[in-house]
Amino acid sequence: MYARLAAYHLEAAAEASATAIRAWSGYLATADPLTMATDGLRWWTTVLDRRPPRWHLPAEVRFRTPIAALRDVTAPADRAAATVPTLVLPPQAGHSSSIVDFSPEQSQLATLRGAGLVRLAALEWLPATAATRDATIDDYLAVVGRAVDDLGGRVNLVGDCQGGWLAAIYAALHPENVHTLTLAGAPLDFHAGDAVIAHSTRLLHDLYGMAPYRALVAAGGGTVPGAALLANFVGIAPAAEIGRQLELLQHLDEPDHVSRYRAFEDWFKHTQDLPGAFYLWLVEHLFVRNELIAGELVVGGRRVDPAAITCPLHLLAGARDHITPPSQVFAFADAVGTPAADIVRRTTAGGHLGLFMGHDALRTDWPALGAQIRARS
């Protein structure tokens, strides 16, 4: 594990250097000193001009709690549709939940609605504050339960990344409330595959136990700073960060490119904090001990048994996902009680974020999964 982590970081550094050299060399070949000075000012201004991300589909906020809000994007004409409602649990890793409605052209919610899941809602995870820094897994499961009840008591549950393991836990504890379960890019078997986050977490815990994680929470006043989570993601794939910034320099005169850059940076760089208690729980019980896939997780005094899940199960993974490799997602198929004939595995060509807002996944994979869910609803 030590050697693999060292090799990964050496490879990442080399890739970042090569990316910078390629992009900078291409720019220098076409720019004169005056252009470079002007472009540098425009580039820096654009880099610094960050705005809060926003949702795009019209929504009714059905309720709001200190940790989450339920956004119902069902069109008025579809409110009485005779179909099982669908509830989406977005990722929760220090960024806005609006990734599931990233832009008018890249919206997981709009794609699912277009596939026939017209009664549709999503939970929006709210930033942690001093008042919510002690929120626990029980608090988050209670919000999911309230959302399910608000939507009628039985839903098609869709969970993305961290929202995926939360959806899996809820489904195992309340299988009667989950009509179908869809999990995308979710670290369900955190020890499977060759993921740098998994290796790093286990190594750090082996050396120092929970002390580094508690120190992070203490430094954040009881919360985990979203900026710290962002720095970790950038450090995992520095070439992507360098490439994105230098590509902006090369395409400053292309409005479409600048618009796409702004949309992503507004979402990626606008971070939000996580409750410290919740974060420490998930690190210890899911990331380190891997209790969910082992069937050893206990929440609220109840064992979370994946075998209790017997509904149709859809699993989506990214072939180039360096955050949650496919093996971490697909391992769940062997843990649930769902018959093999009712389990669907799909692999999209992109990486982790592409699972939720990438053009390929939204054009091909989510329409297919949505249609399969709708056929059962």
> For 51-55, 141-145, 186-190, 229-233, which range has the lowest pLDDT when averaged over its residues?
229-233
Biggest CA pair distance of the chain = 68
Q: Is residue 17 over pLDDT 80? A: no
By DSSP bridging, strand 178-184 and strand 313-318 are: parallel
Report how far residue 142's alpha carbon sits from residue 73's, in angstroms, rounded to the nearest whole number. Answer: 21
Strand partners, 315: 183, 345
Tokens for 71, please give them: 């956004």
DSSP 8-state class, residue 106 = S
Report how far residue 186's alpha carbon sits from residue 328's, in angstroms, rounded to the nearest whole number. Answer: 7
Distance of CA 34 to the CA centre of its chain: 42
Using pLDDT thresholds of 50, 70 and 90, give the confidence band for residue 24: low
Note the pLDDT of residue 10.
46
Q: Is residue 142 over pLDDT 50? A: yes
Report how far residue 95's alpha carbon sits from residue 329's, in angstroms, rounded to the nearest whole number. Answer: 21
Report how far residue 27's alpha carbon sits from residue 327's, in angstroms, rounded to the nearest whole number. Answer: 40
Q: 60-192+275-375: what CATH class? A: alpha beta
By DSSP bridging, strand 86-89 and strand 155-160 are: parallel
User: Mean pLDDT for the chain?
Assistant: 90
3-state secondary structure of 128: coil
The stretch 367-376 carries a mean pLDDT of: 96
Contact call for residues 198 and 190 (beta carbons, < 8 A): yes
Q: Is residue 31 over pLDDT 70? A: no
Q: Is residue 16 over pLDDT 60? A: no
Contact call for residues 191 and 205 (beta carbons, < 8 A): no
Main-chain phi, psi angles of 334, to 5 degrees: -85, -10
The stretch 47-71 carries a mean pLDDT of: 95
Q: Is residue 189 over pLDDT 80? A: yes
Contact call for residues 242 and 20 (beta carbons, < 8 A): yes
Contact call for residues 133 and 223 (beta carbons, < 8 A): yes
Q: Is residue 8 over pLDDT 50? A: no
Q: Is residue 20 over pLDDT 60? A: no
Query: Tens of pLDDT along 198-226?
Result: 777 778 888 899 999 999 999 999 999 99
Using pLDDT thresholds of 50, 70 and 90, give the confidence band for residue 32: low
> What is the Rg, in whole angstroms, of the alpha carbon atoms belonging to the chain?
21
Give the DSSP H or E segment for 62: strand 60-64
Note the pLDDT of residue 9.
43
Query: Tens of pLDDT along 302-330?
Result: 999 999 999 999 999 999 998 899 999 99
Residue 213's nearest CA partner among 232, 241, 187 is: 232
Instruction: Fill in the amino acid letter for 45.
Output: T
Note the pLDDT of residue 88.
98
pTM over 0.85: yes
User: CA separation (Å) from 306 to 134, 141, 159, 165, 193?
Assistant: 27, 16, 15, 11, 20
Note the pLDDT of residue 184.
98
Q: Is residue 371 over pLDDT 90? A: yes
Q: Is residue 342 over pLDDT 50? A: yes
The stretch 96-105 carries a mean pLDDT of: 96
Q: Is residue 258 over pLDDT 80? A: yes
Cα-based torsion angle of the residue sequence 28, 31, 37, 41 in order, rounded to the nearest 10 degrees = -90
Handedness of CA 149, 151, 155, 158 (dihedral sign): negative
Using pLDDT thresholds of 50, 70 and 90, give the confidence band for residue 238: confident
Using pLDDT thresholds of 50, 70 and 90, give the confidence band for residue 40: confident
Q: Is residue 37 over pLDDT 80? A: no
Cα-based torsion angle of the residue sequence 365, 368, 373, 374 in order, rounded to the nearest 10 degrees = 140
In terms of DSSP H, where are the helices of 209-290?
Answer: 211-219, 226-236, 238-250, 255-269, 276-282
Report how far residue 156's alpha carbon sits from residue 313's, in angstroms, rounded to the nearest whole number. Answer: 10
Domain ranges, ordered by start, for the chain: 60-192+275-375
Using pLDDT thresholds of 50, 70 and 90, give the confidence band for residue 29: low
